[in-house]
Amino acid sequence: MFRALYSNVYVWDSRLCIKIFNLNGRKTLDFIMYGLSRLGDGYFYALVGILLLILDFELALKTIPAGLIAFAFEITIFKLVKDKTRRHRPFRAVPGIRSLMPPPDKFSFPSGHTSAAFVMATLFGSVIPALFIPLAIIAMLIGFSRIYNGLHFPSDVLAGMTLGITCAKIGLALVA
């Protein structure tokens, strides 16, 4: 039964992955998707923390500890799941898909870029509710860009989103 479920998800994942990947080849869209993927690399999140310390120290005292806890959980779970599942990236597993940028590691499940983006969106959306929708849209676009660039399947992105939101909620709950 598990094998049949996995097979059905893989077929759906592969088909949707091909449809999204086939959107590439338009210079402006390629540039935007490359930039969104790079935005999710993680350096940006450290910069946000530093800016928050400078601009609103009181808010930083609430947000940064929750963020550190959330990212500690997210990175640990992400690495454990990725090492356990060892799912090949679409450009290695699906004919017709190639990598449009270098992958950060060998395996795809879950999407670390997406989970980190949703940690940030959930954290900041919780302390500044007006930011939640714009940050959630950016996080979704980061996840979409990972599929577009041939690095992840849609289910990798959905798992990353779930992981990021969950870890942010844990971080916020432990600090509150």
Q: What pTM value is reported for the model?
A: 0.89
* DSSP classification of residue 41: T
Reported residue count of the chain is 176
37 with 160: CB under 8 angstroms?
no
Determine the Cα–Cα distance for residues 90 and 100; give it in Å rounded to an integer.
11
Q: Where are the domains of the chain?
A: 2-175
- Which phi-psi region, left, alpha or beta, contains residue 169 (left: φ > 0; alpha: ψ -120 to 50)? alpha
Give the pLDDT score at 3. 73
Rg (CA), the chain: 17
Residue that is written with structure tokens 């992840």 in the block:
152
Give the pLDDT score at 53. 85
Which stretches of the chain score pLDDT less than 70? 1-2, 4-7
Q: Please write the tens of the pLDDT for every residue from 87-123.
A: 999 999 888 888 889 988 889 999 999 999 999 999 9
